[in-house]
Amino acid sequence: MLDLLAPDEGDAVLEIGTGTGWTAGLISARLGAGHVVSVEIDPAMAAQARANLEALGLTPHVVVGDGALGHPESAPYDRVHVSCGVRTVPYTWVEQARPGGVIVLPWMPGWQTGHLVRLRIEDGAASGRFHGTSGFMLMRSQRPAEDPITGAPRTGTSTLDPSELSAAPEGLSLAIAGLLPDVQGHAVTGPDGTLRVAARWNDSHALAVFPPDGTGALVEQRGPRDLWDELEAAVQHWNKWGRPGPERFGLSVTRQGQYVWLDSPSSPLRK
């Protein structure tokens, strides 16, 4: 992540999620502690981080607060390094960074894995490509509520080849995350070879169970959205696009919101 951040001499860096202070310490050692502000939501963690850093003679500005708000008092920043998982990138970070500045964060949309992304700020928006998978604890306030699963199931079968989802390539995960924002889900293969794919969004839920003998999946959908149908449509889109890999996808964050694109910010996945 620090390689992607690539700060230059004299840069001002905002870090979100101080934790132990390790990352803030590395950036301070590289740039000088006076150039580093690190925001931690947990006061006890922040106090421990300050103590850890002081023991090394490093005194970056460790602030207790919600990192989603950044730290406007020391803006603008040349680099923003986010050390906790983010579902929705706060536009505040874009506003508090300089044009040409860089934000590096673990984007964790909720579908399977997270993805490391490097965004560059230009014309009031931040855009950039993905750089591999990444898993972090989610930012507080972005942790999804678990609505109870209720309602009568609508049952059906699936036309999907289970191998598409059991070892979903990163490009497919990004396509699903971009086409179905805020849908959480995962695919798990049990010890007997049964594949279970679950998806949820608020009170909508889908579960598909693919038996190992290849006899076809049984699907149950509940709630206002037919999440399984939407998931199948997303897989079909990805196939139609020629099964692009992660290097062709990117994320843009504007004042209006965020979106995933294919090849260029002018080609959002969701039209």
Residues engaged in binding ligand SAM (CB under 6 A): 16-17, 19-20, 22-23, 39-42, 45, 66-68, 83-84, 136-137, 139-141
How far apart, in whole angstroms, are the C-alpha atoms of residue 98 and residue 254? Answer: 15
Closer to ligand SAM by Cβ: residue 115 or 248? 115
For residue 83, give the DSSP letter. -
Q: Which amino acid is at 79?
A: R
CB of 127 to ligand SAM, least distance (A): 23
CB of 81 to ligand SAM, least distance (A): 8
Closer to ligand SAM by Cβ: residue 136 or 249? 136
Closer to ligand SAM by Cβ: residue 118 or 222? 118
CB of 58 to ligand SAM, least distance (A): 12
CB of 139 to ligand SAM, least distance (A): 4
What are the residues whose beta carbons fall under 8 Å from the beta carbon of 147, sequence distance 6 or more? 200, 202, 203
- Host H or E run for residue 92: helix 91-95
CB of 92 to ligand SAM, least distance (A): 11
> φ, ψ for residue 213 (rounded to 5)?
-80, 5
Closer to ligand SAM by Cβ: residue 71 or 129? 71
Handedness of CA 170, 176, 179, 185 (dihedral sign): negative
How many CA atoms lie within 13 Å of 79's alpha carbon, on the beta-carbon side? Answer: 25
- Host H or E run for residue 28: helix 22-31
Closer to ligand SAM by Cβ: residue 19 or 162? 19
Chain centroid offset of residue 248 CA: 17
What are the residues whose beta carbons fall under 8 Å from the beta carbon of 214, sequence distance 6 or more? none
- Residue among 165, 183, 170, 186 at smallest CA distance from 236: 165
Closer to ligand SAM by Cβ: residue 137 or 233? 137
Closer to ligand SAM by Cβ: residue 18 or 221? 18
CB of 69 to ligand SAM, least distance (A): 8
Residue 91 tokens read as 């536009």
CB of 76 to ligand SAM, least distance (A): 19
Residue 258 tokens read as 């965020």
Residue for token pair 């678990």: 146
